[in-house]
Amino acid sequence: MSYVVDASVACRFLLAEELSDRAELVLEGFLKGRCDLKAPKLIIYEVGNALWKAVRQGLIGLDEAFEKLSLLVRLKIDSIELDESMCRRILAWSVENDTTYYDGAYVIASKVTGFPLLTADDTLYEKASREVLTIHLKDYKP
């Protein structure tokens, strides 16, 4: 099975948060070849920002953040390239649904690839579910 994974899930691969145990199941499946993960390139920026925030809040040190960022890069989650047409669709969807461009990118990536969107973001789950098959991380079954 293939999924478009958003930053709310990828962050839980690296940081201890609610539902991190569910994210570990996703990661284990990916590492064992039982599922494939895809994401727009922006995921690295969103996860990097979450790591920055964790350092700023004193939750982790900078060296640990470097290690976690390196781990994410080494996972080699398949990158979904955003062409001009997709960028326009993302912007339109984001405006219509009163959500961020970042979140819209995951929804449109799911729509274009035909793969379900996997998220731990309650608001994105609610909005994306109207457009694409969306699985909340809490409901993920390996």
pLDDT digits (tens, 9 = 90+) for 26-38: 999 999 999 999 9
Nearest to 119 by CA among 71, 34, 57, 105: 105
This prediction has a pTM of 0.94
Query: How confident is residue 2, by pLDDT bands cut at 50, 70 and 90?
Result: very high
Query: How confident is residue 69, by pLDDT bands cut at 50, 70 and 90?
Result: very high
2-139 to CATH, choices 3.40.50.300, 3.40.50.1010, 3.90.550.10, 3.40.50.10490? 3.40.50.1010
* pLDDT at 124 (0 to 100): 98
Collect all residues with Cβ–Cβ distance below 8 Å to 94 and sequence separation of at least 6: 100, 101, 103, 104
